[in-house]
Amino acid sequence: MRTIFTSEAVTKGHPDKICDQVSDAVLDAIIAQDPHAHVACETVASKNVLIVTGEISADANVDIEKIARQTIKDIGYTRPEWGFEYDKIDVEVRIVRQSGDINQGVCLDNEEIGAGDQGMMFGYACNETANYMPLSFELAQSLVKRQDEVRKKGILPYLGPDGKAQVSVEYSDSKIKRIDTIVVSNQHLADVDIETVRRDLRKEVIDQVIDPALIDEDTRFLINPTGRFVIGGPLGDVGLTGRKIIVDTYGGYAPHGGGAFSGKDPSKVDRSAAYYARYVAKNLVASGLCDRALIQISYAIGIPEPVSVFIDTYGTNHTSLENIYAAVNKNFDMRVKNLISELDLLRPIYLNLASYGHMGREELNVPFERLDKVDKLKEYLK
């Protein structure tokens, strides 16, 4: 049977990703001073204005406006042509303290930590790629990384910070067959003609990233398909923290609980439990217990232990599901306190995760990508 699956990704300069990065830059600055801070930082970007708001309770002194401007500068909004200059926009900071009702549920009298909210979080892994991520998603993220790289290195100096990519992979009987369609769009200066943009993006981005063995004569390349992408970034579209949750996770291959990651300290299980679920799923697949794994963990506000844990292997398990549940119960502690301590999440590691996806980022050496449970899990194959 022939099927096609598509995933997208966005560059650092996409309006929503600007907001994710500002929120996580603020979180990093606060958590560096107070690892136990409670942070829920939200950012809005629009024409000539950036608003940083949310609830923060911390023993820290940070200059949020300065952090926001530096983050936008690092992304590349340094020229008037891009319509959102880091040193010209208005930055408004509107922060309040965390609700006492929420704080009461998180800070328990014993040594445990209650979940910061109710909700269900998902983790996923598969054996399609070396880092156990879906191929379409990994390729889309690789394209936007390269788009940012050729812009920042001056290889294509006329490109702007805002951009997107999308990859459609064709399967035959659940096996990767070919790439059906590649879409790349990137903001550019007004005086560069569309044929130059299309030629350069094909040569310097697509051809540098995509394995030619996956491309055939029928593969479609849609490069800046509207023909013009001059107005971009917050000048062209309002940005908001947490609006690219599928880009942050698995490119649509797995469900998402609905909670965003950026701007939230790890007491918010939207973030920490999603990371832990990825940790569990990746180790299950790497151990050979299954070829694909979906993990759902759910919590109630103020309660340390999960309400439920669900595992789906899509029929690819190489031992019984009973064995897999037993392996997970024995080797993974999903209490909120343990999520944070085992994954060492009380550190300023979050800004780097706010672009190019949170999962599969082995180059960042994040603990939830470790494969340190594989040997123990292999015992359950016997």
- Render pLDDT for 15-65 as a digit per residue (tens, 0 to 9): 999 999 999 999 999 999 999 999 999 999 999 999 999 999 999 999 999
Average the pLDDT over 195-211 and give the result. 98
pLDDT at 97 over 90: no
pLDDT at 77 over 80: yes
Q: Do domains 2-10+135-232 and 119-127+269-381 have the same CATH topology?
A: yes
- SS3 per residue for 37-66: CEEEEEEEEECCEEEEEEEEECCCCCCHHH
Tell me what pLDDT residue 114 has: 84
Q: What does pLDDT average to over the chain?
A: 95
Name residues whose C-beta falls within 8 Å of residue 218's C-beta, 6 or more positions apart in sequence: 180
CB atoms within 10 A of CB 62: 18
CA-CA-CA-CA torsion sign (266, 271, 277, 280): negative
Tell me what pLDDT residue 382 has: 74
Residue linked to tokens 């609830």:
55
Domain boundaries, given as residue ranges, for the chain: 2-10+135-232, 119-127+269-381
CA-nearest of 75, 82, 77, 201 to 150 is 201
3-state secondary structure of 313: coil
pLDDT at 102 over 60: no
Domain range 2-10+135-232, its CATH number among 3.30.300.10, 3.40.30.10, 3.40.50.1370, 3.40.50.1820: 3.30.300.10
**What's the length of the chain?**
382
The mean-pLDDT minimum among 161-165, 318-322, 341-345, 378-382 falls in: 378-382
CA-nearest of 38, 222, 69, 90 to 143 is 222
Q: What is the pLDDT of residues 236-288, one digit of tens each?
A: 999 999 999 999 999 999 999 889 999 999 999 999 999 999 999 999 999 99
pLDDT at 99 over 60: no
Tell me what pLDDT residue 342 has: 97
Tell me what pLDDT residue 98 has: 63
Average the pLDDT over 365-369 and give the result. 97
| Confidence category of residue 104, pLDDT binned at 50, 70, 90 | very low
Q: How far is residue 118 from each of residues 105, 114, 275, 297, 338, measured CA to CA in Å?
A: 11, 10, 16, 11, 17
**What class is the 119-127+269-381 domain?**
alpha beta
| Confidence category of residue 108, pLDDT binned at 50, 70, 90 | very low
pLDDT at 207 over 80: yes
pLDDT at 174 over 50: yes
Tell me what pLDDT residue 62 has: 96
pLDDT at 107 over 60: no
Give the DSSP per-residue string, 215-249. --TT-EEEESTTS---S-HHHHS-EETT--HHHHT
Q: Report percent pLDDT > 90 for the chain.
A: 92
pLDDT at 12 over 60: yes
